[in-house]
Structure 1
Amino acid sequence: MSISAQDVKELRDATGVGMMDCKKALEEADGDFDKAVELLRKKGQKVAAKRADREAEEGLVVTSISEDASTGAIVEVNCETDFVARNDDFQSFADRVADIVLNEQPGDLESLHALSYNGERTVKEELVRLTGRIGEKLAIRRFDVLETEEGDVVSYIHPGSKLGVLVVLTGEDEQAQLDVAMQIAALNPVAVSRDEVPESVQEKEKEIARDAAISEGKPEHIIDNIVEGKLNRYFQDNVLLEQDFVKDASTSVQEMLDEAGVEIKTFVRYALGN
């Protein structure tokens, strides 16, 4: 039977699948719209199953912030190639998922998959549909939500959307807020302050420093001082407030924030694949 361009367009608008695939589905379904939709869904499921064992290490890190800046969401969505990561439909999907996480705050990935995507299908169903359309394995890898009753949640996405940060801050200096978010992105601190560094991490650093001092033949009576010095150096390199400020190495992040009247509460940093 003859399939009109209007029929193809309506199926394309309803499913988001490419025009040629829509035409083929309508021809296979003898023009039955609902049957064509089902055929396209099954195709998406087959593609998703076929590519399930593929590695999806490319993708995007995206954020979404509430209008009052009291809540922020960060999400990593993966695909197989950087080419698809630049695809408009993939980017739109990632942004929409971040909005859903922000508004619904699911407890885990399974709960997120079960949420409504657009009122017609779930997030999981949309993921499968988009997989069938794009032809690559797609996956939502992880997400986090930060909330605050005091201050703002600020986001920073590094150009290319492979690296993103959410940070909770108080204070009015927007440049300082951006600077500290960029500092987190660039230097990957393990904690805001040394008090937040797990005891197990500190003990491991001490062990490494002690073993190195012993192997170098340092006198026993100075080893404890060496270990303490190495641990302090670790804090300076890896604790946010003690790091050198990337825009002015003559001052620390703590000093920069104090001067700007800004205080940092907590942060989340996502680097694609890490």
Structure 2
Amino acid sequence: MLKKITVQNIKELRNKTGAGITDCKNALEASDGQIDIAIEALRKKGLASADKKSSRLATEGLIESYIHAGSRIGVLVEINCETDFVSRQPEFHQLAKDISMQIAACHSVSYIFKSDIPDHIISYEKSLELQKEDLSVKPTEIKNKIANGRLNKRLKELSLMDQSFIKKPEITVEELVKQHIALWGENIRIRRFERFLLGEGLETKTNNFQDEILNMIQNK
């Protein structure tokens, strides 16, 4: 027997996803009123729609800054959208703040996408993997397969979009951005960023900024 879909059910799903009323109603009917399944269906639909919008020109937006507690690390990031209307929305400002905080926490990140990583960096990282002692006795085919797997993992460490979102680790930064694209129906892109570390290039004490930021978020 199909569960009756109520206005309250639709309102709850809309509040959790930001999706339109009709989309929420259809998702609930398709999932027999199961909120979690409906959320997942809407999320997939939104991400698919976001992929289609990712090539559209985005020239509005804002530059956001983040200074970590203690003023030892700072980040500037430019995030673009298509209209001034979206750039003024509180959710867009929060997205920019979250991205800047993410960059501060992930100090191995140097590029926005894996595709941005130069060929000479990829070649260098692969050569390091191939030279590792545990691969020296492996047959060439297996050695290359293992090295390529490790290389892919390393390239993800360098890519901002492949990072797990620090506030919600079950999604990546790329999925976070796509959720906001689906929310407003506009292309959103992280154009560039710069990270500043106090005393960078000098011999300084190393701090685990990621743990500090995560602790700060959890204690809010």
C-alpha displacement of 1:9: 4.7
Which residue of 69, 74, 77 maps to 2:76?
74
Q: Could you tell me whether the CA contact under 8 Å between 1:80 and 1:136 is conserved in 2?
A: yes
Which residue does 1:233 correspond to in 2? none
Alpha-carbon separation, structure 1, partners of 2:76 and 2:31: 41
Amino acid at match of 2:49: V
* Conserved? CA contact 1:48–1:137, under 8 Å: yes
Q: Paired residue for 1:144?
A: 194
SS in structure 2 at match of 1:8: helix
Task: State which of 171, 175, 178 in structure 2 corresponds to 1:121.
Answer: 171
Match of 2:9 among 7, 10, 19: 7
Matching residue of 1:57: 59
- The separation in 1 between residues aligned to 2:29 and 2:192, in whole angstroms, is 39
Letter in 2 for 1:44: G
Structure 1 stretches of 4+ moved >4 Å = none
For 1:12 and 1:136, the matched residues in 2 are separated by 19
SS state of the match for residue 74, structure 2?
A: strand
- Do the aligned residues in 1 keep the contact of 2:161 with 2:172 (CA within 8 Å)? yes
Distance in 1, Cα, partners of 2:85 & 2:9: 30
Q: Which amino acid aligns with 1:109?
A: I
Tell me, in whole angstroms, the C-alpha distance in 2 between the residues paired with 1:107 and 1:5: 46
Matches within 5 A, 1:188-227: none
1:47 counterpart SS class: helix
For structure 1, the 5+ residue unaligned runs are: 151-274
* Offset, 1:119: 2.2
Structure 2 Cα separation of the partners of residues 99 and 6 of structure 1: 35
Residue 104 of structure 1 corresponds to which residue in structure 2? 106
Q: Structure 1: which amino acid aligns with 2:186?
A: E
Letter in 1 for 2:18: V
State the TM-score, normalized to the length of structure 1.
Answer: 0.50
| Counterpart residue identity of residue 67, structure 2 | I
Give the TM-score, by structure 2 length.
0.61
Who is 2:32 aligned against?
A: 30
Query: In the alignment, is the contact (CA less than 8 A) between 1:77 and 1:94 conserved in 2?
Result: yes
Listed one character per residue, the Cα deviations across residues 70-110 of structure 1 (whole Å, up to 9, x for unaligned) are 11001111111111111121111111111111121222113
Structure index of larger Rg: 1
Instruction: Give the Å deviation of 1:5.
Output: 4.3
Q: Secondary structure at the match of 2:78?
A: strand
Contact kept in structure 1, 2:19 and 2:42, CA below 8 Å: no
Higher relative contact order (CA 8 A, sep 6+): 2
**C-alpha separation between the residues in 2 aligned to 1:124 and 1:148?**
28
Pairwise CA distance, 1:120: 2.6
Amino acid aligned to 2:76: I
5+ residue gaps, structure 2: 114-158, 201-220
Aligned residues: 149
Task: Note if contact 1:76-1:140 (Cα within 8 Å) is conserved in structure 2.
Answer: yes
How far, CA to CA, are the matches of 1:27 and 1:58 in structure 2? 38
* Contact 1:9–1:19 (8 Å) recurs in 2: no
Write the deviation string for residues 168-199 of structure 1: whole angstroms up to 9, x where unpaired: xxxxxxxxxxxxxxxxxxxxxxxxxxxxxxxx
Instruction: Using the TM superposition, give the Cα deviation of residue 10 of structure 1 relative to its aligned residue in structure 2, in angstroms.
Output: 4.3
What is the CA-CA distance between 1:138 and the residue it aligns to? 0.9
